[in-house]
Amino acid sequence: MRVTMTSAAARTGRTNEDFTGAAPTAAVLIDGAGIPGAESICRHGVAWYATRLGGSLLSLLSLARDRSLTALLAETIEQVTDVHRDTCDVADPISPSATVAILRRSGGLVEYLVLGDSVVVLGRADDAPLVVTDPREVTISRSYQPAIEAAAKGSDEYHRLVRELRANRNRPGGFWVAKDDPRAADEAITGSCAISELTSAVLLSNGASRIVDRFGLTDWPGVLAILASSGPAEIVDRVRQAETRHAVAADDATIIHCTDLGRA
């Protein structure tokens, strides 16, 4: 498997809270999520959480190839939570969390996992790309957005709505992310495809997937074409230009592009 990747912080001087890494048979993308004020809850921060989660997960993927992606993610969440359980309030709703995307080659299959609003796209030789998403967080957030935007920022009503939105995290009927509870891994979107059917695979953080799902600059076949011709950095460049044109706050943007999937 051949891998190219890029990861760009939202702006110069800001810590990139994404993690990306690859092994000969696996690739991992972690998109860290933080909430203002979390410094008083966890002294380590979001970037630390994303890096520890991604590094530990990549190690397990390389060493425990006979275990499911869900089981490995659950073990990783437990491991990282244990590292800072005694120093940080890991169960607090605003403590660091992350979305997860995993790709693993196993025998004649490519396995995938998505938890949260990262995206996996599988290019198929004889069909449209398979786009794997977990829409629950986006769907729930959109239902609160009009009321949050209408409330005066910093008002009691504003804070009430934000708390109510956060309360949907990692609970039935809500949305799921990697945080302190390993059972969240059971809620991930998983599946597999025969390697022989695939031409490539892409993992994108939601800061990079904006090229399609927010700005509509291209579609998913178009993303695969751009990656094949110009590489991951071109996707990020186009997203940054669109953010500037539309006066939209930038987000960390990360892409892993995998080709030659059957290559040892």
The CA-atom distances, in angstroms, between 220 and each of 77, 88, 167, 235 are 30, 40, 32, 12
φ, ψ of residue 25 to 5 degrees: the values are: -125, 10
Q: Is the pLDDT of residue 12 over 80?
A: yes
Written out in words, the top-level CATH class of the domain with range 2-134+176-258 is alpha beta
Helices of type H across the chain: 46-63, 69-84, 136-150, 156-166, 210-213, 220-230, 232-246
pLDDT on residue 158:
79
Whether 239 contacts 4, CB under 8 Å: no
Q: Is the pLDDT of residue 37 over 70?
A: no
In the structure, what pLDDT confidence band is assigned to residue 264 with cuts at 50, 70 and 90?
low
Whether 176 contacts 101, CB under 8 Å: no
pLDDT on residue 151:
83
Minimum mean pLDDT among 45-54, 86-95, 229-238, 247-256: which range?
86-95
pLDDT on residue 35:
67
3-state SS assignment for residue 261: coil
Q: Is the pLDDT of residue 230 over 70?
A: yes
In the structure, what pLDDT confidence band is assigned to residue 36 with cuts at 50, 70 and 90?
low
Bridge partner list, 21: 28
Minimum mean pLDDT among 96-105, 139-148, 203-212, 229-238: which range?
139-148
pLDDT on residue 217:
98
Domains of the chain, by residue range, sit at 2-134+176-258
Segment 180-191 shows an average pLDDT of 96
Q: How far apart are CA 118 and CA 102, in angstroms?
A: 10
- Percent of the chain whose pLDDT exceeds 90: 71
Tally of helices (H runs) and strands (E runs) in the chain = 7, 10
Bridge partner list, 8: 253
pLDDT on residue 263:
80
Cα angle 89, 186, 47 (rounded to 5 degrees) comes to: 40
